[in-house]
Amino acid sequence: MRIFGLDVGRHRVKVYSDGIKLSFPSYCGSYRTLRLERTMTEEDMVVEWKGCRYYVGSIARDEAEDGIQNFLTSKVTTDTQLIGLTALHRFVENGEEIALVIGHPISNHTQPEKEGMRQLFTGEHDLTVNGEHKRFTITNVTVVPEGASTQFILPKKHTVAHGIDAGGATTNYCTWERGRWVDRLSGTLEFGLENIRNLSMEQFARLVANSVARKLHQFCGPIYVLGGAAEPLSSALRQYIRNVPIEPLEDGMFANARAYYDIGVKMYEKVQTQR
């Protein structure tokens, strides 16, 4: 059974499985007939799902009357479901059964929210994307905390390390001690790169550095930065945090999705050895 890591971000959705990956803007909206023909790209999708037609990706942003990104506090929405299933459709075979590991904001990582996310994706799904119909089944859904789960792909082991994951609407921060996530020293800042666009990267880094420092009181180990802006944000953060090294994770945009996939593989291997 194949395993997929799915990161439905507010800005972009990312899916990863065994070296294959895909990302597109997290917009969706209602379909409408276009008067002028559009040259479709890999980020433009017309989706038929549950008897309705939708635009997903760049075309939803550009052409749907109600094309929006999900900036609600909860990610347990039909938008998340539609965008996530559309991303999986690209790689899943018709009739295939898969396992899914998906992330959820640290601040909302509660049992009701996790169960809601599982219900969105568990089971059989039937949709047509750009004229290609597929029916597939997600037999197992594991929900993990965004940002914190990247401990599994850190390049080095540390006694203490921190992570900063700047998304579109929120910024997750986390602390790992001896390889374990510390809930008390992890959380979510209610701002991201999309909802405070008027700030420069340096100003955004200043806000992140001070906000996280106020929560943690001090940084006790290296900081790993992930997300699509990992490189410039790391550079900007070094102006404000000087006592510990700051490193962007390789391929930062897909860091969460890669970590989710890695978690899924480890879980599958553990089950196999117990049989």
User: Final residue of a domain: which of 125, 145, 165?
Assistant: 145
Residues spanned by the domain of 179: 155-248
Q: Are 182 and 161 in contact (CB under 8 A)?
A: no
User: Final residue of a domain: which of 145, 170, 201?
Assistant: 145
Report the percentage of the chain scoring pLDDT > 70: 98
CA–CA distances in Å: residue 75 to residues 156, 228, 242, 258: 31, 19, 35, 20
Based on the fold, state whether residues 80 and 181 are members of the same structural domain. no
Once rounded to an integer, what is the mean pLDDT over residues 74-85? Answer: 95
> 129 pLDDT band (50/70/90 cuts)?
very high
Residue 122 to residue 138: CA distance in whole angstroms: 5
Q: 231-240: per-residue pLDDT in tens?
A: 999 999 999 9
> In DSSP terms, which residues pair with 52 in a beta bridge?
49
User: Final residue of a domain: which of 124, 145, 166?
Assistant: 145
Give the pLDDT confidence score for residue 275 in this predicted structure. Answer: 60
Q: In this structure, what CATH number is given to the domain that contains residue 211?
A: 3.30.420.40
Q: Assign 79 to helix, strand or coil.
A: helix
Based on the fold, state whether residues 162 and 236 are members of the same structural domain. yes
Q: Assign 152 to helix, strand or coil.
A: helix
